Amino acid sequence: MNDDFYLNFLDSSEKAIESNAGARNFALNAENEVNFKLSSSAISRFKAALRYTVENLDEELTRFENRFTNKHNAVFWATDYNDVFESLKKLFKVHKVKSVRLPNINNSTVFRELGIKYFLRDEKIALAEDGDMQFFNADRILSDTGAILLLNQTNNSFERLTNHKTNVFFTTIDRVLCNSDWVEMYQQLVSYNSGSGRQDMIVFRGSENCNNYLFIIDNQRSQLLKNKEIRQSMMCLQCGRCNDVCPVFQTIGEEPYNNVFVGPMANVTLPYLETIESYKHVMFACTLCGRCEEVCPISLPIREMIVESRHLLIAEGALDKMERRLLGVMRKMLLSRSKMNVSPFIKKHLLYKFISSDYRKSHRIPAFSKENFAKSYKKTIENGK
């Protein structure tokens, strides 16, 4: 590997410490100077590492578990949130837990996905800054070192992690990174929404002072592995760039998703993570314009995946008679120049047949242009002259 891109964290981090267990923990804060360049060849190699991880997920997860597990660290495999909650109840008993420290829940998809706040409320476990147990969202797990990568944990510190008696980490099966050389590339690419360059990052392997439990949760993600095209969605960094440019998402907002996952990548994954029946509408929340792919730092073929999902939807006969009819009408319209040239008033009338009146009341439906694209384009060119 080119030295420019080889990131030696143990040298670059002043805060590197060595625990009695021999595991190294370190922080890489946003202000740390690093020898790092975002070149297209580095991104291609990073993407290859992500692809390798997804294609060899079972082996990489096992590799991680073997390196992470020792007498202070344990992994819990969870098929779904019920598995998580059953194991947590046992841990609460063993450690006599009455209160938990939970970081800002809004920053953590996995906590919102699990509904952890409601579980704790039902179990009568209080939330407290100095709780008996502390929960963390593990942004990535590193299979080559058995370390956990924590991003943007504003109030966290080594001291908090290494000196607390019991830490519980939560992650999902798609959050593995096979090579620690890429953690800074990851940090850089997911810091898009941080507003301040790179997010602070902690790489944690454990400490003799504390017990560390890690939940690795499937929650239907293994369904994404079944199809070669759709599998690529597991490479997503969840950086949010595509959400900001998608004209459909920017128009319809989060409401039609009714889920913690929203936007272009949710169009691909939700029908698999939930059911096709309940999420087939989001497969069509896309005009295939390609803006999401232009901004995606790892150029995921989002359109291809959406089209593949649509093929599966048809192949599985998941559209009812009315939906098939509506799609047939839309197809005829879109393929007919004379029909596309009808007045905006008629187009609006036809479009409204597809949209419920409740939705129309609560959302702004964009107006059709008074003239077709060819005419308005010609005018623009003429005016330009």
Using the rule CB under 6 A, give the single segment among 204-212, 214-222, 223-231, 292-300 that binds ligand SF4: 292-300
Distance of CA 310 to the CA centre of its chain: 21
Is residue 286 near ligand SF4 by the rule CB under 6 A?
A: yes
Gap between the Cα atoms of 294 and 301, Å rounded: 10
Q: Which is nearer to ligand SF4, 206 or 297 (CB)?
A: 297
Gap between the Cα atoms of 375 and 305, Å rounded: 33
- Whether 144 contacts 8, CB under 8 Å: no
Is residue 291 near ligand SF4 by the rule CB under 6 A?
A: yes
Q: How many residues bind ligand SF4 (CB under 6 A)?
A: 28
Is residue 234 near ligand SF4 by the rule CB under 6 A?
A: no
Among 287, 341, 343, 376, binds ligand SF4 (CB under 6 A): 287
Using the rule CB under 6 A, give the single segment among 15-23, 289-297, 361-369, 375-383 that binds ligand SF4: 289-297
- Nearest distance in Å: CB 236, ligand SF4: 3
Among 300, 305, 312, 313, binds ligand SF4 (CB under 6 A): 300
Gap between the Cα atoms of 137 and 46, Å rounded: 23
Among 10, 38, 48, 288, binds ligand SF4 (CB under 6 A): 288
Q: Which is nearer to ligand SF4, 57 or 237 (CB)?
A: 237
Using the rule CB under 6 A, give the single segment among 24-32, 231-239, 271-279, 312-320 that binds ligand SF4: 231-239
Q: Which is nearer to ligand SF4, 120 or 305 (CB)?
A: 305
Is residue 246 near ligand SF4 by the rule CB under 6 A?
A: yes
Among 173, 264, 310, 312, binds ligand SF4 (CB under 6 A): 264
Question: DSSP characters for 324-378?
Answer: HHHHHHHHHHHH-HHHHTS-HHHHHHHHHTTS-HHHHHHSPPPPPPSS-HHHHHH
Nearest to 301 by CA among 309, 292, 310: 292
Nearest to 190 by CA among 241, 260, 134, 119: 241
Which tokens in the block code for residue 108? 């953590």
* Beta bridge partner(s), residue 127: 100
Gap between the Cα atoms of 347 and 333, Å rounded: 10
Among 201, 202, 282, 292, binds ligand SF4 (CB under 6 A): 292
Q: Which is nearer to ligand SF4, 119 or 284 (CB)?
A: 284
Half-sphere exposure of 309 (CA within 13 A, CB side): 34
- Residues in touch with ligand SF4 (CB under 6 A): 236-242, 245-248, 264-265, 267, 286-292, 295-298, 300, 302-303
